[in-house]
Structure 1
Amino acid sequence: MIFMDKSKIMSILKSVAIILVIVCFVSFLRFQSADLSTLPTDQQAYYKDSNGLPYFTEMDSYYNLRMTQDFLDYGHLGDTINNGTPWDTLSYAPEGRNAEYPPMIVYVTAFLYYMANMFSNMSLMKVAFYASAIIAPLAPIPAFIIVKRITNNYGGTTAALIVALAPNYFSHTFAGFFDTDMFNVVLPLFMILFFIESIKSSKLAYRIVYIVLTVLSMVLFSLAWDGYIFYIAMLIIFMIIYLILSFVLNIDLIKPRKDYSNILSWFVNQKEIFSIVMIVIIGIIGLGVTNGFGSLIDAPFELIGLTKLQSAISSTAFPNVAISIAELQIPNLLSGGIAGAFSANAGGIINGVGGVVAVFGAFTILILFAHSLLKLRSYRTGKYANKKPPKGKRESASKVKESNGTFISNAVSNIDSLSDVNKIKRETLLYLTLFSVWILLSAIAVTQGSRFIMVLMIPLGLCVGLFVGYAVMYIRDKLNDKNKLMVIAVAGLLLTFYPIIQTFMVFYPLYKISSTMSFIIPIIILVAGIGISALLIYGFKDIKSSRFAKPAVMLILMFAIVSPTVFGAYQVSESVVPSTSDPMWDSMTWIKENTTNVTTLTSWWDFGYLFEVASERPTLFDGGSQTGIRAFWTGKAMATNDTNLSAAIFEMLAYSGDEATELLDNYTHDSGKSVEILESTLTLTSEEAKNRMVNSYGLTSVQADNVVNLTHPENPVPVIFVASSDMLQKAGWWTYFGSWDFDTKNSSGYQYLMPQKPVKMESIGNGKYQANITNLEEEGIFHKTVITKGAENNTTNATTKTVFANGTPVKTQNNTTFNPFSINKLIVIEDNIIWKNETINESGNYTLLVMGENGTYTSIIMSKELENAMFTKLFILTGFGQKAYELVHMEEGVSLWKISGINTLKNETGSTNSSR
């Protein structure tokens, strides 16, 4: 008895040690992102704040930071209370918006902040920067325990690493990515772990404890993510299917009532029924108290809404900005072709779980569960089904200990050694049903967007761990053929070699080795691994004589499965670049110091959250205010050729938000007509606008007055438009929304092709000079601008061409020159003088803008629709050709524009009335 206790203690300590190592390892990888290792040393400070902390990698982080700061300052989310509701006055100006938000990230970060400042002086931003790297590494704990209890430490380790480092999870939870994703794997795994244990545990006291822990995890998760309802629905569906299958497969799940003295005694001893009923009762109370009982009524409708995200995106009159969000795009099954099948990345569903080998293993384990269950079915009334087998048939204690949790293996191979076949059948059905339902529902969720790959990878990751666990047991207990062991070792080493060489070939400059060595070193590792494996396997006469041969093969198998995920996570952590830099932050600091408090900022939505934190000014458009109306008008203001209309749009939005559009929609019942009315009247005086609404569009005088009061303010709100270089790459989206066709409910996006870098003119003889500028590179094909210049003024000319890396022109199948960027107009500006502005090809679709100064040239190939767009005039031509905006400040890649005639800067004098 003492020996058994000691053995159990050693087993627990071993598991704890493994978990600690895994947690430390996955934490280390997440903390690596703060080093900005791939950036040149002299550029790293550009992406760090004044305290040397890198800027956040994702913009939602700044919203979470601001809500946490509000909580610390005011005791609630948001900066004020509006009719009893927490309110955020900086978002969705001018009205602001509801600040109710899953508060777990705020509570946890505030707690970490208080804890950190008990021992040191640490800013909230620094605590928030590292919060994900502290919380997300807890995921391996439940993952390891779930799989280890079914298989062994190899399986548990595999599941822990796959789950903790899965691309779609890791890429949202490293240091510098401060978002709610940190909870979206940790809490569901703990909830499932406790749920399983509440069903499996024999002792009533343990079951009650696990039931409470299940509900506690559920409640905490409801405070972390609105999608928590998915897991509640999943558990309910699982229990329904589990009970049905137990009846179909003749598994004695519910015991006869007559065997118990009273109904309470009977109920307590029905483990599955007792657990699910108690979880439902306590869960309703817990969720109701925490989130409000009304939320329980709304929950089923929210779940239905999750299954209709894609249809909701395309069902509105105004364009839905959600279609531009990468996480809501339907993911590819596989990214990177055949080579990508063995890689882990966030580009595809299969890649998101560690590659095709891992996915194969996950589904193999489901087949094994099903096969085992069918094989067990015939033992329902076996002679040892309800009693212990004879002593001669029983396993020794050491054997039982060695096969801890391996009920499937024993059930199939040595059924007479089991004392309770029905228990094994119940547990087999439990895991088969749980993982199957979990995977199926998660797969359905993935059809609504790539963000749900994170949900799918949890059950698949656990199944991958089970696959490795059972494969290891097969190798340990069944496989004694040296050649087969060697085949497994070589195959495993080859699978491990692939992510290693991928990593070396990408990061060899970081390791300060040559590109040749980046290929040689992985080969040396592969050859050494094969050599050592051969020595361990063939170096002994009998395979059982080698203590390390089988463990080595087992480790190789585990490494083969987890290496794509591990090295994929490493590649992500080493490649992190913050999503903003000093110029943007400094621009916001300038706004905070130099503009009036009521000044409203506007731009495309991506940087909205950062604007609010750094400038402390209200913002028209951010990541939480992505309405169709706001997306359309913001895009229209940036894409229109009429800069006066652009400024008027922003004046309207800053003063009355969406009210004018919504009011007109009530009058016209036609969003397209409402937009037409506003576009044709915003640049007029208020009296002219009213007359046109009445005479041309049939509004009553009262209706027109109501609209004009919202569109033509006597005292406009000061507005600053923030133009930044990142919006050049995003032009396809903001032009798509700004060019929306309300009849077809569709649109077209336009693009800028920016140069990789400016190029100096070089002599090509005969008094002529030439510059070749690369505007776009796609898979070895270069789209270039070729600029030529003679000795005289006005001799500069330019054209586009498409070539391979060696300069050979790209040809079509008809052997004609391929060039997708046919130039409609050529504009040449040299030393701030326009030398050319001429149409080259009436049927061309692009405008080529060439700008030169002191012999250095740059070029922009743009869709011809963007030639006179507001954004082109402001950001590219620095305000040339318009008077609606005034440049007030400029940093590298960022320019700030106020609307002319409106007091925006502190101590500024002049008219504050609308110029319209």
Structure 2
Amino acid sequence: MSKKELLIIFFSLFIIFALGFTLRVESVHLTGIPSNEKAYYQDQNDLPYMYDMDSYYNYRLTKNYLNHGYLGDTKVNGTEWDFHSYAPSGVPMDYPPFLVYLTAFIYKFINLFTAVPLLSVCFWLPAFFAPLAGVVAYLFTRRFTNNYGAFAAGILTVAAPFYFIRTVPAWFDTDMFNVFFPLLVTWLFIEAVQSEDRRLRMLYSVLAAFSMLIFSMAWNGWQYQFYILIVFSVVYTVWRRLKGEPVKDFITIFGIFSILTLLMVGLVTGFLNVIKFFMGPIELIGLSSAQGPWAPWPDIYMSVSELGIPSFSEVVTGVGISFLVGIFGFFWIPRVLLDKKLKEQFLSRMTWFFYLLLVSWTVVGFFSLTKGARFIILLIPPLVISSGIMVGLAVDYLSLLKKSERFNLLQRNKTYITLISLCIVLLLTLPAVFNTCETMKILQPLANDDIWNAATWINSNTPNDTVIITDWSYGHLFSGVADRPVVFDGRTAYVETLPSRQFDRAYPYGSKSPSTSREYWISRAFSTTNESLSYGIFRMIATSGDMGYITLDKYTKNTTESAEILNNILGLDKNSAKNVLMDEYNLSDESAEDVLNYTHPNNPRHFVVVNVDLKGSWYFKFGTWDFSKMQIGNYTYSHGNLNASRNYFTSDGNLTLDPKTGAVTWNNQTPYCVITIKNGMIDKHYLNKNSNMCVLLQMDIKKYAVMDKKFENSVFTKLVVERSNSTYFKSIYENDDVSVWAPKSS
């Protein structure tokens, strides 16, 4: 390789990395948020809060690792245990550690020279790591085409909208690995297959296996890429055997890669991860069934927006221009491969093996979209490679013009060929870059000053063993910043552990715990109008977790009946609850006492209930779950901001209010009742008995909520919207966006 060629490669890699980094740094300015609101989403260093709450989970685990050398809070019988998550029982630490290891190493290294807070390292790491995926894409694509195509692939990778938005500064999560490692592993595997040197084949096989090991330590879904390579290789081997072609060398490479990967994964991360590899597909079928593994409890994962099936436009937007160019490449590349002369001239280094693998990779990527929009990221690697090869072909076709007498100008001056080639690259990459600049405008941190201040207040003003009960989506922030255990967080029911629970003694209750039952009970506590029941639910969860229903299940053998019984006794005192268990449900004295130890504990744990904003839709849906029909409640709920307009208040959700006349409409309908909260006073008016919805107005902070009249007097309405006095709960802290409540009995 000439010095000029090396210089071109180095310069291309520099541009790809620099562009990927610069674009991500620009997002720090919060360009999509009005200037007067930016400070609300920025910390004391004028940097945005984290965009994704999982970032605070990774931050907390990194703190643990730096403090005592492992990710969990402590060790129980030799097993790392996380007591901050799924409190009070906690969970065995089952999380890929690579992000933590990498962050801790960088933090330690930087602090050899200057003092930099850990949170700052977490903040900036994605912007430095994500562009490396573009570097790998360039090197991978260059294996099959020219520098122009490779450069295009690199740029399209770092500018892919879905990948970009999940790898900006302040998105401290494993998404940064989910393009880099699939590209790296597949590239090394292809090099092993196509190399003609026996020693290089062995070397690349080992490197591919080692890269897969690191990937298994970086993301719980690493098996996805392994499945693609393994299944495709098996099919390819059978196909070659049927054609009578030699397969010995390929089987050797395939064997080294697969066996070494599983062996290293087992030795380094534990053989439970190998079990997950084999049990994962079976569990996937269970998750896809009508009831799922959590039945009869509601499936909280239906409320996770990124697990919803994306529309076609969302897929195209997420992948970017690579979607169309890559798909076109899949149709054009075989035309070249089928023509011996064209293949030799333009794709001499490409084989049918790689082409079919690329197509299979993409097809499986499309299939993964049935599991949620978050898996759009898995489509990006094969499509950017196909796009790069397609760009390379377009540039190579220009060589045909040089031989044509109709283009004498191109024959006399090669500079024109270079300029046209650059124009082709720019024609595809510049729109991708500009689109990325537009994409960053939708970024808005999920955390803000109000949430952060509430978390720091809890940290300073509550006992260390206080349990926080909040919406799962905020759990990671409160456990990380308030440094208190939470009953539910972003890992929800720990679905990733399902394939191996039956083989792990740390999960004695299998799919019963952790489970989605937590979401039902928390939602039930908020949606009910019975404060005593609400308090009883919170007390049970904070003190004994899932043991109430699990213990009752031993006697009823029916979880639906157990849920019914708990709903009937949790609002009662202990003696009354015991009478109900014995008289109405025929439990013995001993069995009743066994259940009551968990439902009505003698020494309940201190807890606080934290509410953020007015998000209550899923509380009402899950809180009215129909166990017999396995169906969520379908109730009206909307919330948003009020905007003053002359003598009217309008909203961002079809609500209008005339303060002078008191006329209120939502979707052009007059509500059943209007509840106005202003200066701590609550004013309630009934307007339309034929309506089924109520409008609640928080005039001090200019917010509103619309809900079914069934929940007019719910605990959610009292604590979250009205923030009014309660029989069982007292307000201990509040700001515009957050309210914190504690039981009066404590």
TM-score where L is the length of structure 1: 0.75
Distance 1:452 1:883 in 2: 46
Distance 1:163 1:682 in 2: 54
Corresponding position: 1:861 with 2:694: no
Name which of 825, 829, 836 aligns with 2:673: 825
Partner in structure 2 of residue 468 of structure 1? 391
Partner in structure 2 of residue 534 of structure 1? none
Q: Confirm or deny: 8 A CA contact 1:139 1:163 kept in the other structure.
A: yes
Aligned pair in 2 of structure 1 residues 480, 306: CA closer, same or farther (>3 Å)? farther
Corresponding position: 1:295 with 2:286: no
Q: Percent identity?
A: 32
Name which of 345, 354, 361 aligns with 2:325: 361
Aligned pair in 2 of structure 1 residues 827, 579: CA closer, same or farther (>3 Å)? closer
Aligned pair in 2 of structure 1 residues 749, 127: CA closer, same or farther (>3 Å)? farther
Name which of 298, 316, 321 aligns with 1:319: 298
SS in 2 for 1:118: coil
- Encode CA deviations 1:533-588: one digit per residue, 9 max, x unaligned: xxxxxxx9845456554444433332333344322322233543221112211112
Partner in structure 2 of residue 87 of structure 1? 81
Distance 1:636 1:77 in 2: 33
Aligned pair in 2 of structure 1 residues 126, 543: CA closer, same or farther (>3 Å)? same
Q: Confirm or deny: 8 A CA contact 1:772 1:784 kept in the other structure.
A: no
Distance 2:561 2:696 in 1: 36
Distance 2:558 2:41 in 1: 47
Corresponding position: 1:74 with 2:89: no
Distance 2:699 2:182 in 1: 58
Partner in structure 2 of residue 283 of structure 1? 261
Q: Confirm or deny: 8 A CA contact 1:65 1:125 kept in the other structure.
A: yes
Partner in structure 2 of residue 193 of structure 1? 187
SS in 1 for 2:649: strand
Aligned pair in 2 of structure 1 residues 34, 153: CA closer, same or farther (>3 Å)? same
Query: Which amino acid letter does the alignment assign opposite residue 328 of structure 2?
Result: T
Structure 2 counterparts to residues 52-201 of structure 1, below 5 A: 52-201=46-195
Name which of 713, 732, 735 aligns with 1:891: 735
Query: Which amino acid letter does the alignment assign opposite residue 655 of structure 2?
Result: K
Name which of 553, 567, 575 aligns with 1:679: 567
Q: Confirm or deny: 8 A CA contact 1:372 1:408 kept in the other structure.
A: no
- Encode CA deviations 1:770-796: one digit per residue, 9 max, x unaligned: x4222334xxxxx2323253xxxxxx5
Aligned pair in 2 of structure 1 residues 310, 775: CA closer, same or farther (>3 Å)? farther
Corresponding position: 1:784 with 2:631: no
Corresponding position: 1:773 with 2:624: no
Q: Confirm or deny: 8 A CA contact 1:354 1:564 kept in the other structure.
A: no
Partner in structure 1 of residue 496 of structure 2? none
Partner in structure 1 of residue 500 of structure 2? none
The structure with the largest alpha-carbon Rg is 1
Partner in structure 2 of residue 239 of structure 1? 233
Corresponding position: 1:600 with 2:467: yes
SS in 2 for 1:785: strand
User: Greater RCO between the two (CA within 8 Å, min separation 6)?
Assistant: 2
Corresponding position: 1:48 with 2:33: no
Distance 1:309 1:242 in 2: 30
Q: Confirm or deny: 8 A CA contact 1:162 1:353 kept in the other structure.
A: no
Q: Confirm or deny: 8 A CA contact 2:33 2:441 kept in the other structure.
A: no
Query: Which amino acid letter does the alignment assign opposite residue 619 of structure 1?
Result: V
Q: Confirm or deny: 8 A CA contact 2:124 2:170 kept in the other structure.
A: yes
Partner in structure 2 of residue 655 of structure 1? 543
Query: Which amino acid letter does the alignment assign opposite residue 304 of structure 2?
Result: I
Partner in structure 2 of residue 848 of structure 1? 695
Distance 2:350 2:618 in 1: 51
Query: Which amino acid letter does the alignment assign opposite residue 825 of structure 1?
Result: C
Distance 1:21 1:699 in 2: 72
Partner in structure 1 of residue 492 of structure 2? 625
Partner in structure 1 of residue 309 of structure 2? 330
Q: Confirm or deny: 8 A CA contact 1:229 1:303 kept in the other structure.
A: no
Distance 1:61 1:750 in 2: 32
Partner in structure 2 of residue 732 of structure 1? 617
- Encode CA deviations 1:69-121: one digit per residue, 9 max, x unaligned: 11111111111001111011111111111112101001111111111112211
Name which of 714, 721, 726 aligns with 2:602: 714
Partner in structure 1 of residue 505 of structure 2? none
Name which of 283, 286, 299 aligns with 1:305: 283
Q: Confirm or deny: 8 A CA contact 1:68 1:109 kept in the other structure.
A: yes
Q: Confirm or deny: 8 A CA contact 1:639 1:735 kept in the other structure.
A: yes
Aligned pair in 2 of structure 1 residues 364, 51: CA closer, same or farther (>3 Å)? closer
Distance 2:702 2:125 in 1: 45
Partner in structure 2 of residue 908 of structure 1? none
Q: Confirm or deny: 8 A CA contact 1:720 1:899 kept in the other structure.
A: yes
- Encode CA deviations 1:727-780: one digit per residue, 9 max, x unaligned: x2x3222221111110110112545444533538x6xxxxxxxx4222334xxx
Corresponding position: 1:872 with 2:717: yes
Distance 1:349 1:317 in 2: 33
Structure 2 counterparts to residues 735-774 of structure 1, below 5 A: 735-754=620-639, 756-757=641-642, 759=644, 771-774=647-650
Partner in structure 2 of residue 430 of structure 1? 353
Corresponding position: 1:797 with 2:662: yes
Distance 2:699 2:119 in 1: 42
Name which of 440, 443, 446 aligns with 2:369: 446
Structure 2 counterparts to residues 200-599 of structure 1, below 5 A: 200-246=194-240, 252-254=245-247, 270=249, 272-306=250-284, 309-311=287-289, 314=292, 316-334=295-313, 348-355=314-321, 358-376=322-340, 407-410=343-346, 427-478=350-401, 542-545=409-412, 547-599=414-466
SS in 2 for 1:861: strand
Shift of 1:9: 2.9
Aligned pair in 2 of structure 1 residues 565, 735: CA closer, same or farther (>3 Å)? farther
Distance 2:344 2:333 in 1: 7
Shift of 1:663: 1.5
Partner in structure 2 of residue 389 of structure 1? none
Q: Confirm or deny: 8 A CA contact 2:141 2:153 kept in the other structure.
A: yes
Shift of 1:280: 2.9
Aligned pair in 2 of structure 1 residues 600, 835: CA closer, same or farther (>3 Å)? closer
**Comparing 17-26 and 732-741, the one that deviates more:** 732-741
Distance 1:319 1:361 in 2: 41
Q: Confirm or deny: 8 A CA contact 1:686 1:708 kept in the other structure.
A: yes
Q: Confirm or deny: 8 A CA contact 1:72 1:110 kept in the other structure.
A: yes
Query: Which amino acid letter does the alignment assign opposite residue 686 of structure 1?
Result: K
Distance 2:716 2:264 in 1: 52
Distance 1:558 1:73 in 2: 48
Query: Which amino acid letter does the alignment assign opposite residue 674 of structure 1?
Result: S
Shift of 1:718: 1.3
Distance 1:850 1:211 in 2: 64
Aligned pair in 2 of structure 1 residues 246, 650: CA closer, same or farther (>3 Å)? same
Aligned pair in 2 of structure 1 residues 247, 739: CA closer, same or farther (>3 Å)? same
Partner in structure 1 of residue 504 of structure 2? none
Distance 2:451 2:391 in 1: 48
Distance 1:599 1:673 in 2: 31
Query: Which amino acid letter does the alignment assign opposite residue 305 of structure 2?
Result: A
Structure 2 gap segments, 5+ residues each? 494-514
Aligned pair in 2 of structure 1 residues 752, 480: CA closer, same or farther (>3 Å)? farther
Q: Aligned Cα RMSD in Å?
A: 2.7
TM-score where L is the length of structure 2: 0.91
Aligned pair in 2 of structure 1 residues 641, 85: CA closer, same or farther (>3 Å)? same
